[in-house]
Amino acid sequence: MDKLKLLLTITLLAFVSASALAQTAPAAEEPSRAETGGAMTLEDILRRQRGEEVDTTFREGLIGDPNAAAQLTDPLGTLGGASDPELWRALRFGSADITSQVRNPGATLLVQDTGMNWTLFREGPLRVYGGYFLLGVLGLLVLFYLLRGRVMIEAGRSGQTIVRFKSIERFGHWLLAGSFILLGITGLFTLYARVFLLPPSAGALNTEAEIVARQAEGPLVETLLEYAKWVHNNVSWAFIAALILVFVMWVVHNLPSRHDVNWILKGGGLFSKHSHPPAKKFNAGQKLIFWSVIILGGSISASGLSLLFPFELPMFAKTFVILNSMGIPSMLGMGPLPEVLTPHAEMQLAQAWHAIVSFVLMGIIVAHIYIGSVGMEGAYDAMGSGEVDLNWAKEHHSLWVEEVQAKEKKSAPSGATPAE
Ligand code: HEM
């Protein structure tokens, strides 16, 4: 009997400790990848959900494996073709033999990882922060207007004028301005139309009325988006042409000069009433506008061309190679940038860059439009009639006035008064 009791106790103890061990033991070991036949493991899926890097080399390495490929000849079963894993692997890692009517570098890549990140970025931070940025700039301009008021011609209008811009210069400016404004409006429309013109889409959670409204308004919004795209794509050429024209005409006047530092230190005289730092044809503030337009406008044009000719003008991988070789990412505390990108990732980066840089330039240009029109008395005439009041010119571009008058004196016959 005693022996039986002892045996029972030992069995019980063994059972309890075994189950306790089972509870404290680490989570079930990750199954060997070989056991899954190259499919994703539960750990892989959990890693993906946590947004962590997933090692796909094992599955990628299986492509073309004769054992895996042998399944291609297996007959179809009730649960699908036995060859499915091999085919999906090849599609997933971009090595499937796809015959396409349209032969372009992106046509054979049917599955890619980066699309969802791009969609979420475009629908989230890009819309939200881009919108707030522009509203912020508008708010600052209103604040500036309330605090400083309109920048007036301090000496009042003289009644005499001086030629500021020739007609070719004004043509270049208005071609640039007109095309930029159209591009800005149609670009913003493309980004925000669905948000503001359609009832919210909450999928299955939409009320019936919302679904009906979406179905009714959807086609109209889509048609408007198509028009917007047409205008955006075609007007881009005018912008590029104007950018080149403006660059050629004004680059010499926008090279840095020693007067720029003084102008910047005095805030261009914009924040105090009696300060008029001397400047030539363009002051330091205008030079900043000019170079922003050229550099940011040039970058927007390049990424725009890349979007206009899908997959034909990839630029990012090449740029990343250069940036990595210059050590720029490590200077910023980042790891190296990817030097190999799928054709689709190239397009997604081009779109994101195009939009971000456009938002920055739109912010700068909104400020420029303000100061070139309502913000400063007498400024608009420069681009309107091409002639500005002499007192305006003396207050904002004194060195340029001296240059023009000296030239006129030189070319005028002796005794004649220079025309103004
Ligand atoms: C309705 C919109 C606009 C108005 C009222 C306007 C007004 C003006 C004026 C009055 C000037 C001459 C300033 C001076 O005499 O010193 C000027 C120059 C200039 N504008 Fe505009 N502009 C507009 C839109 C644009 C746009 C959209 C761009 C570029 C995308 C642009 C780029 C330039 C550049 C590069 C200059 C020469 C540098 C400077 O003065 O800042 N403008 N603009």
Query: Does ligand 1 come within 6 angstroms of the Cβ of 401?
Result: no
Rounded to the nearest whole angstrom, what is the distance from the C-alpha of residue 334 to the centroid of ligand 1? Answer: 38
Separation of CA 370 and ligand 1 centre (Å): 10
Residue nearest (by alpha carbon) to ligand 1 atom 20: 173
Q: Is the CB of 179 under 6 A from ligand 1?
A: no
Q: Three-state DSSP class for 163?
A: strand
Ligand 1: centre distance to CA 253 (Å): 15
Q: Point out the ligand 1 atom lying closest to the alpha carbon of residue 290.
A: 35
* Confidence at residue 52, expressed as pLDDT on a 0 to 100 scale: 80
Residues 373-396 have pLDDT tens digits of 999 999 999 999 999 999 999 999
Query: How many Cα atoms within 13 Å fall on the side-chain side of residue 256?
Result: 5
For residue 332, what are its two tokens? 């910023």
Q: In angstroms, rounded to a whole number, what is the distance separating the alpha carbons of residues 259 and 286?
A: 13
Find out whether 254 and 293 touch, Cβ atoms under 8 Å: no
End-to-end CA distance of the chain: 128
Does ligand 1 have an atom closer than 6 angstroms to the CB of 341?
Answer: no
- Quote the ligand 1 centre to 190 CA distance (angstroms): 25
Domain boundaries 115-411, corresponding CATH code: 1.20.950.20
- Rounded to whole angstroms, the Cα distance separating 115 from 185 reads 26
Instruction: Tell the residue number behind the tokens 């993906």, with chain if given.
Output: 48
Residue 204's pLDDT is 66
Domain boundaries, the chain: 55-97, 115-411
Estimate to the nearest angstrom the gap between the alpha carbon of 242 and the chain centroid. 22
Task: Dump the DSSP string for 265-289.
Answer: HTGGGSSSTT-----SSS-HHHHHH
pTM (2 d.p.): 0.81
In short, whether 369's Cβ falls inside 6 Å of ligand 1 is: yes
373 lines ligand 1 (CB under 6 A): yes
Q: Which atom of ligand 1 is nearest to the CA of 382?
A: 15
Question: Which residue is closest in CA terms to ligand 1's atom 43?
Answer: 372
177-200 residues labelled b (16+ CB within 10 A) or e (exposed): bebbebbbebbbbebebeeeebbe
- Cα–Cα distance between 385 and 168 in angstroms, integer? 12
Locate the ligand 1 atom nearest the alpha carbon of residue 297 and give its number.
30
Low-confidence stretches of the chain (pLDDT beneath 50): 1, 13, 15-27, 72, 415-420
Q: Which residues contact 350 (CB under 8 A, 6 or more apart)?
A: 303, 306, 307, 315, 316
The minimum-distance atom of ligand 1 relative to the CA of 379 is 10
| CB distance 177 to ligand 1 below 6 Å | yes
Atom of ligand 1 at shortest distance to CA of 181?
27
Q: Cα(156)–Cα(416) distance, rounded to whole angstroms?
A: 27
